[in-house]
Amino acid sequence: MKTPRQRPVVDTWDEAECKGIIEQLWTLRQSMLASEAGLATHLQSVDPTYRTSARNLVHYLALRRHDRRDLQEWLSRVGLSSLGRAESHVLANLDKVLGILHRLTGQPWEPHSSDEPVGIKSSRKLLERHTAELLGTVPADRVVRIMVTLPSEAAKDFGLVKRLVVSGMDIARINCAHDGPPAWKAMAAHVRRAAKTMDRPVRILMDLGGPKLRTGHIPSDTAVLKLRPERDDVGRVLSPACVGIRAAGTCVPVTGATEHVGVEAQWLAQLQLGDRIEFTDARDAERHLRLVQQDEAGFLAECVQTAYLVPQTKLKLCRSGVEHAVTCVADLPCKDGLLHLERGGSLRLTGPMVDALPRKARGRALRPMPTVACTLPEVFAQVCVGERIWFDDGRIGGVIKRVEPAWLEVQITHARDSGEKLAGDKGINLPDSQLRLPALTEKDIEDLAVVAQLADMVGLSFVQQASDVQALRERLQELGKHDLGIVLKIETRRAFENLPELLFSAMASKSAGIMIARGDLAVECGYERLAEVQEEILWAAEATHMPVIWATQVLETLAKTGLPSRAEITDAAMGERAECVMLNKGPHITEAMRTLDDILRRMQDHQTKKRPLLRALKAWRTLGGTSI
């Protein structure tokens, strides 16, 4: 049975005990300087603007190498700094405590400022300078910047971008995992134009897609087009359903049509305005269309009854004096399919071209195993049986039961009692696997040429080791953009475990920052560990005087529905600990920005990093009617 840790009790002043604490602190101090000497090569590799920050990080890592809680408890009990908020100026804080203890015990003390890379005031200025170099100047009346992920519509809608700038967007984020170079260029142009119009600086971050594991496309069981007229409360038709009829294989839209079907070109050539087209729909219901409009692409047809068209549906031209010509429909819209997964069931993860499992075994017909492709099948050779696998931001979990060169078999272990639906293009996480994937994919390298022209900083997705950062810096050097800011997205378990070496590699750049991508990070490290992990990342970044972007699901319910949850308001307030808070797109994004702006303005008077601020509590000025 584990005995509780004994804590020192200081009821009276004990000079001998105090001298023992002084010895501990001197030993700690020597270990910090020894670590600095041992990492001299690493310190020389960082940019001169980050040299003092790198030294402070080394001291912080030495401080946290062992459990210091007993020491903290003693220092706190005698009214001294417990070193609990020393991240930004570790050695200077330690020296101040040592100096006080020396004087309390009557021992001589000489300042050791030449050993100290940074003090409490200079550390604050360093962070401010590094933050301004990466994220831009401080906005008026708010210390923390607001970043917004631009939706695809921002490429066509300048008004949308302008509203975001007016609402307080300091940084626009363009996700290179979506859209393409023409859309990115349009988005960037709209951001620059809106910023100039409003006479306020707005920077652009472009995130490279990185080696993101995702599920592939899941085809639907059948293609179907539902035609449904609009009706009033008693079922009378207010407006018929409209469908465009055009030659199969063409893509030019018919004027006025929101849905289209393809038909044989020869059959289409026989049609005339006013013709009646009869068909039997997928439910064996007799239906008809009326041709009401014609253009170069084809005909616009109206239907006054609900109908379902499938590939087997045959359209019959009905016109007096003309042979009833028939054609099958084509080019029906095919919705993305879904896989229904149940706890205890199996899922097969394959490469793009692998067929489904055999349907028979031991002479019996088997129900086919649900199967989905993986966007990076090369990971199959890097995983092991028994390792965990998560899908769709951790909504569905499983364990790898079988590994083959071309596929994996997964047993589902985490799903609701009623089962879960898995769609295509959903994230896959392998937190137990040691994946060897380059942070820069071939697509990333192509995209980087565009990013270098448009962005103020580039986000490195799924970074895992220092060589990933070095690869990005080399590519930027080749493009003549060595001064482009770098943001390391910490979103995997391996990135968190390798954070110190990632920070050193990032400090080789003139401007760098880190993003706590809490979505994937929670899945990789476990939801129960997320609070602990994000705290440790914040501490390391503060020790490095490096700006942090607080990301993923901040005010997400508000941005999507217009109504925030109570929990996410508290979570947004935690963003004050970072230098920037990121909001994702949503129909109510401007309202979310206004709310976040208000929260951050209020909280900056109460908290800076880990340190609470003693602002006057105006709400508690009286007690029982008496002034306090």
pLDDT, residue 113, reads 87
Residues 402, 387: Cα–Cα separation, whole Å: 10
Q: Given the DSSP bridges, would you call strands 314-318 and 276-280 parallel, antiparallel or unpaired?
A: antiparallel
pLDDT, residue 393, reads 87
* Distance set, CA 269 to CA 246, 266, 319 (Å): 10, 5, 14
Q: Given the DSSP bridges, would you call strands 428-429 and 388-391 parallel, antiparallel or unpaired?
A: antiparallel
Task: List, in order, residues 6 or more apart from 174 with CB less than 8 Å away.
Answer: 150, 184, 187, 188, 204, 205, 206, 207, 454, 455
Categorize the per-residue pLDDT at 627 as very low, low, confident or very high, splitting at 50, 70 and 90: low
Four-way CATH pick for 338-429: 3.20.20.70, 2.40.33.10, 2.30.110.10, 3.40.50.720: 2.40.33.10
Burial of 522 (0-12, 13-18, 19+ CB in 10 A): buried
pLDDT, residue 621, reads 66
Q: Where are the alpha helices (DSSP H) in 39-108?
A: 40-45, 51-63, 69-77, 90-104
Q: Given the DSSP bridges, would you call strands 407-414 and 420-423 parallel, antiparallel or unpaired?
A: unpaired
pLDDT tens readout for residues 110-149: 988 889 999 999 999 999 999 999 999 999 889 999 999 9
Categorize the per-residue pLDDT at 333 as very low, low, confident or very high, splitting at 50, 70 and 90: confident
Mean per-residue pLDDT of the chain: 89
Please say whether the beta carbons of 227 and 309 come within 8 A.
Answer: yes
Say how far residue 355 (Cα) sits from the centre of its chain.
32
Residues 502, 546: Cα–Cα separation, whole Å: 12
Structural domain boundaries of the chain? 15-118, 128-211+437-612, 225-328, 338-429
pLDDT, residue 12, reads 57
What the block records as the tokens of 412 is 């589902």
Residues 509, 477: Cα–Cα separation, whole Å: 11
Four-way CATH pick for 225-328: 1.10.3470, 3.30.40, 2.40.160, 2.40.33: 2.40.33
Residues 503, 415: Cα–Cα separation, whole Å: 37
Asked if the domains at 128-211+437-612 and 338-429 fall in one CATH topology, the answer is no
Please say whether the beta carbons of 301 and 243 come within 8 A.
Answer: yes
Tell me the whole-structure pTM to 2 decimals: 0.80
pLDDT over 60 (residue 7): no
pLDDT, residue 220, reads 74
Please say whether the beta carbons of 169 and 202 come within 8 A.
Answer: yes
* Distance set, CA 482 to CA 201, 283, 489 (Å): 22, 63, 19
Q: What is the mean pLDDT of residues 263-287?
A: 93
pLDDT tens readout for residues 515-565: 999 888 999 888 889 989 999 999 999 999 999 999 988 898 898 888 888
Query: DSSP per residue over 89-113, as a string?
Result: GHHHHHHHHHHHHHHHTT------G
pLDDT, residue 364, reads 45
Our CA dihedral for 537, 541, 543, 546, rounded to 10 degrees, sits at 180
Residues 128, 135: Cα–Cα separation, whole Å: 10
Residues 580, 516: Cα–Cα separation, whole Å: 11
pLDDT over 70 (residue 356): no
Query: DSSP per residue over 282-335, as a string?
Result: TTS-EEEEEEEEE-SSEEEEEESS-EEE-TT-EEEEE-TTS---EEE-B----P
Domain 128-211+437-612 has CATH 3.40.47.10: no
